[in-house]
Each structure stands twice: as C-alpha cells, then as structure tokens.
C-alpha cells in the first residue's frame, strides 16, 4: 500500500488523482488531503477516502471543516505551516503536489526536506526555484516524478537511457484555443473564450496559460530543471492533436516519443505507481481515428509570453520567479476582466524590467522577488484601461 498526501485535492489534478486511487483499491491509500477554500468538496472527499488528516490552507474555512468531520477519526489542520508539517509525517510515502501556483512551493520543499517521493504537477514551484528544489532533492534523496503530461512523456522516453545521450527534448504544445490567431483578433478575446481548451479540461489558471502559451514557456523551464538540461536542449513544437505528449531526440538522431489520448489520469497514475505500470480500462488511442498528426513552429511573435518565458529561462537567477509572479497576477486580473489578453505580456515584461536581477538567489531572495514582482504587477494592472 502506498500512502498518499494529495495537496490540492479539490482541483482538476487532485480530483483525477482520487479517481486513480478509487480505480486501484489495495494499491493506494489516502493519508492526507489538502485544499484551500473549497471546503464542501474537501469534506465530501474526507468522508469518502477517510484520510488520517486533512489540511485546509485557508484558515477561515477551518471551523466548517472541523465541525463537519467531528465524528470521524480524521485530524483537521489549517494553514500553510500545518501542511508543511503534515507532509513530513512518517505515514506519508508519496506527496502529490497539485496546488496551483507559487503557493505550492513551501509544502513541496518541506516534502523534499523529509526525503519524500514527490509526484509534482505544480510546475510553478519548479519555475520559481527549480535549481534549489533539485539541489535539495539530491541532498535529501527525495525522488521527484513529473506529472505534467509533457514531462511524464519525456521521463517515460528516458527510462533505460543515459541522460548524457540526450541531444534535446521537444515539448509538444497543442497551441491552445487561439492557435493560428493574430494580435488583431487576440486583442479583444475574453476569459470565457480563453478558458475553452480544445483538448484538455483543466483548472482556470493553466487554461489561460495554455491560451497565451505561457504554459509552454513555464514547461520549458520545468523541463530544464527536472532533467538537468542546458537551455539549448529544450525545444518546443506545436502539435494540435495532443497525441504525442513530448519527445526526446538522442545524439544518434533517433527520436522517441510517448503517445496516448489526452487524459491526465495516465501521467498521474504513472507517477504514483512508478516504476510499475498499472492496468486500466481507459479509452485506448486508435490510430485510425487520428490519421493525421501535424506539427508546426510556435508563433513566438504573436504569443509573446512564450518568448518572454524563454528569455527568462536563459537569463536564469530570479528571472523565472519574477516571470511567474507577474503572470499569476495577470492571469487573475484577466479572469476578472481587468486586463486585456495582449496586455498580460506587456505588463509581465514591465514587471521583469522593474524587479532587480539576482543571479544566485537564496530561498529568501525567491520569496522577496515574488512579493516585489506581485506589487509591481498589481500596480500595472491598476493602470490598465479595463481596470478604470
Ligand atoms: P485547480 O485550480 O483545478 O486546483 C488547484 C488546487 O490547489 C485546489 O485544490 C485548490 O484548493 C488548491 N489551492 C489553490 N490555491 C491554494 C493556496 N493558496 N494554498 C494551498 N492550496 C491552494 O488547478 P489544476 O488545474 O489542478 O492545477 C494544479 C497544478 O497542476 C498547477 O500547477 C498546474 O499547472 C498543474 N497541471 C495541471 C494540469 C491539468 O490538467 N489540470 C496539467 C498539467 C499540470
Ligand atoms: Mg503540460
């Protein structure tokens, strides 16, 4: 039995992880569940999966959750600090990091310090502090397994290979809902439209990131740290069908890819069960239904976020941390119709120009760069026509 701490259990990844648990009785047991403010679903999940503990990070929701679970043998905690404590318990074998955004950094680092196996969906943690995260994992022996579908694909392609024989990795991008569109169209798009991803059903933040291609930029940085690659070894190709989840090109020119239908339960299951493959009855890929797989270059000029993120990767230091913080503020503002689609890139760039560069940041530097970037970005949002 593998005992799981599922952080962000009420989200898109969290709920699909619980589906994987339900489909594999006797293999996984839920030890900890955590969520921020969806107390109703957290309570429902706690009643169903009977974890040893639940943590509600939004302290205002504590009483409601505590009262609802009073008659059950479930410990209830509140706040980010409690979450960092609970992930270190001896009764936790695997921590699934499925919190969205910078908010996942603290608990992920805590799990790594305790030498846990960490299945990581929370890409922002690797974008912000990937170097530190990987260094600490190497020091404590924590094993980090990717959940993001592209990184799971690369990881699966690397099984049995020597990392030194990798020439480059090629991340596939669906292109999102606005593939092929130009600035004159994008200038007017609204959140409701941007939230409609053609191939994947995901949380709001990553859906907007997929529409702006920031998601692919974040994934480039994520890949760099997860696999210890140079900047030049990380490439992107647009593949609208989302059948090939990513590829690895080796020094002999051979290319391996991992394919499947777009279903996050697969990479989640692979990370949780690794190195085992578990049987399931999910719909299979039928090549006759996908007769045409196409590829094209990404449009870095129209989708500026991809170019900005790539630059941040090359710049290194605290640049990706600042990028991420500014992007979180922009996505939030765009969802509230306070900034326009194209304005997000402009304001992220302005934020990056405003926050001082730190070449070798400490954890404290990441925390302060994040705060500073959020303040600048929020100021720029206030100046947007839409906010007035
Ligand atoms: P979501 O918005 O659906 O869920 C987010 C979860 O995090 C919720 O359980 C929420 O309670 C929790 N949370 C939110 N703010 C928090 C805070 N401040 N403190 C603690 N917990 C908080 O998001 P999602 O789509 O499931 O994405 C989760 C992570 O996985 C993201 O980093 C995303 O980039 C990554 N990811 C998601 C998908 C996908 O298909 N959804 C695919 C690949 C990677
Ligand atoms: Mg992905």
Distance, CA 11 to ligand 1 centroid (Å)? 5
- Rounded to an integer, what distance in angstroms lies between the CA atom of residue 109 and that of residue 357? 23
In 3D space, the residue among 205, 142, 133, 146 whose CA is nearest the CA of residue 366 turns out to be: 133
**Best probe residue, ligand 1, of 13, 105, 271 (max atoms within 8 Å of C-beta):** 13
Using an 8 Å Cβ cutoff, are 128 and 102 in contact?
yes
pLDDT digit string, tens, across residues 238-252: 999 999 999 999 999
Q: How many CB atoms lie within 10 A of CB 18?
A: 22
Average pLDDT of span 5-21: 98
pLDDT (0 to 100) of residue 50:
98
pLDDT digit string, tens, across residues 39-80: 999 999 999 999 999 999 999 999 999 999 999 999 999 999
CATH 1.10.1740.10 range(s) for the chain read 152-263+282-386
pLDDT (0 to 100) of residue 1:
95
- What is the torsion angle, in degrees rounded to the nearest 10, for the CA atoms of residue 270, residue 274, residue 275 and residue 278? -50
The binding-site residues of ligand 1, defined as CB within 6 angstroms of any ligand atom, are: 8-14, 35-36, 38, 57, 98-100, 103, 121-124, 148, 200, 202-203, 205-206, 264
Task: Locate 243 and state its tokens.
Answer: 């059948």
Tell me the whole-structure pTM to 2 decimals.
0.98
Distance, CA 267 to ligand 2 centroid (Å)? 10
Quick one: which atom of ligand 1 is closest to the CA of 121?
A: 30
- Residue 199's pLDDT band, with cuts at 50, 70 and 90, is confident
CATH 3.40.50.720 range(s) for the chain read 2-146
**CA contacts within 13 A on the Cβ side of 236:** 26
In 3D space, the residue among 152, 155, 169 whose CA is nearest the CA of residue 250 turns out to be: 169
Task: Locate 69 and state its tokens.
Answer: 């679970």
pLDDT (0 to 100) of residue 385:
84
Phi-psi region of 253 (alpha: psi -120 to 50; beta: other; left: phi over 0): left
Using an 8 Å Cβ cutoff, are 339 and 347 in contact?
yes
Q: How far from the centroid of its chain's Cα atoms is residue 257's Cα?
A: 21
Task: Locate 230 and state its tokens.
Answer: 């140079």
Has residue 93 got a pLDDT over 80?
A: yes
**Best probe residue, ligand 1, of 5, 6, 11 (max atoms within 8 Å of C-beta):** 11
Average pLDDT of span 178-192: 97
pLDDT (0 to 100) of residue 80:
97
3-state helix, strand, coil in the chain (%, to 5): 50, 15, 35
- Rounded to an integer, what distance in angstroms lies between the CA atom of residue 246 and that of residue 268? 16
Architecture per CATH, 2-146: 3-Layer(aba) Sandwich (3.40)
**Best probe residue, ligand 1, of 34, 55, 99 (max atoms within 8 Å of C-beta):** 99
pLDDT (0 to 100) of residue 123:
98
pLDDT digit string, tens, across residues 130-144: 999 999 999 999 999
**Best probe residue, ligand 1, of 8, 9, 44 (max atoms within 8 Å of C-beta):** 8
- Rounded to an integer, what distance in angstroms lies between the CA atom of residue 105 and that of residue 281? 34
pLDDT digit string, tens, across residues 286-321: 999 998 999 999 999 999 999 999 999 999 999 999
pLDDT digit string, tens, across residues 269-281: 999 999 999 999 9
- Residue 206's pLDDT band, with cuts at 50, 70 and 90, is very high
Find where tokens 């502090």 sit: 129
Distance, CA 120 to ligand 1 centroid (Å)? 11
Quick one: which atom of ligand 1 is closest to the CA of 206?
A: 34
Q: Are strands 2-7 and 94-97 parallel, antiparallel or unpaired?
A: parallel
pLDDT (0 to 100) of residue 248:
99
- Rounded to an integer, what distance in angstroms lies between the CA atom of residue 120 and that of residue 126? 9
Instruction: Indicate which ligand has the atom closest to the C-alpha of 83.
Output: 1
pLDDT (0 to 100) of residue 198:
83
Instruction: Indicate which ligand has the atom closest to the C-alpha of 15.
Output: 1
- Rounded to an integer, what distance in angstroms lies between the CA atom of residue 225 and that of residue 169? 12
pLDDT (0 to 100) of residue 231:
98
Residue nearest atom 18 in ligand 1 by C-alpha distance: 103
pLDDT (0 to 100) of residue 201:
84
Cβ-in-10-Å burial (0-12, 13-18, 19+) of 364 comes to exposed
Has residue 386 got a pLDDT over 90?
A: no
Reduce the DSSP state of residue 287 to 3 states and report it. Answer: coil
Q: How many CB atoms lie within 10 A of CB 303?
A: 26
Residue nearest atom 31 in ligand 1 by C-alpha distance: 100
Average pLDDT of span 80-97: 98
152-263+282-386 has which CATH code? Answer: 1.10.1740.10
Q: Which residues are bridge partners to 235 per DSSP?
A: 170
Has residue 191 got a pLDDT over 90?
A: yes
- Residue 200's pLDDT band, with cuts at 50, 70 and 90, is confident
Average pLDDT, the chain: 97
């Amino acid at each position: 039995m593998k005992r799981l701490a599922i952080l962000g259990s009420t989200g898109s990844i969290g709920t699909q992880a619980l589906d994987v648990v339900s489909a594999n009785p006797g293999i996984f047991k839920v030890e900890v569940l955590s969520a921020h403010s969806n107390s109703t679903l957290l309570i429902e999940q706690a009643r169903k999966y009977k974890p040893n503990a639940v943590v509600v990070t939004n302290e205002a929701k504590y009483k409601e959750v505590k009262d609802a679970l009073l008659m059950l043998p479930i410990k209830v905690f509140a706040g980010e600090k409690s979450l960092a404590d609970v992930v270190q318990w001896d009764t936790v074998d695997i921590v699934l990091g499925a919190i969205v955004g910078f908010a996942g950094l603290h608990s992920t680092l805590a799990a790594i310090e305790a030498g846990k196996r960490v299945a990581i969906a929370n890409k922002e943690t690797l974008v912000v502090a990937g170097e530190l995260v990987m260094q600490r994992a190497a020091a404590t022996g924590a094993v980090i397994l990717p959940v993001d579908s592209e990184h799971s694909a690369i990881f699966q392609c690397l099984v049995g290979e020597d990392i030194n024989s990798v020439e480059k990795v090629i991340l596939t991008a669906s292109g999102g809902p606005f593939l092929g569109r130009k600035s004159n169209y994008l200038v007017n798009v609204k959140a409701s439209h941007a939230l409609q991803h053609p191939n994947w059903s995901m949380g709001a933040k990553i859906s907007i990131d997929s529409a702006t291609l920031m998601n692919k930029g974040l994934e480039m940085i994520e890949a760099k740290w997860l696999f210890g690659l140079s900047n030049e070894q990380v490439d992107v190709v647009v593949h609208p069908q989302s059948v090939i989840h990513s590829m690895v090109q080796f020094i002999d020119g051979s290319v391996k890819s991992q394919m499947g239908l777009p279903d996050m339960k697969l990479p989640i299951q692979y990370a949780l069960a690794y190195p085992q493959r578990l049987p399931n009855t999910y719909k299979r890929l039928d090549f006759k239904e996908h007769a045409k797989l196409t590829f094209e270059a990404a449009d870095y000029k129209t989708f500026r976020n991809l170019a900005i993120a790539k630059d941040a990767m090359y710049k290194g230091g605290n640049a990706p941390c600042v990028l991420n913080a500014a992007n979180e503020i922009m996505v939030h503002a765009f969802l509230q119709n306070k900034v326009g689609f194209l304005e997000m890139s402009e304001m992220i760039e302005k934020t990056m120009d405003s926050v001082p560069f730190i070449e070798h940041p400490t954890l404290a530097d990441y925390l302060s760069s994040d705060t500073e970037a959020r303040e600048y970005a929020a100021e720029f949002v206030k100046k947007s026509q839409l906010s007035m």
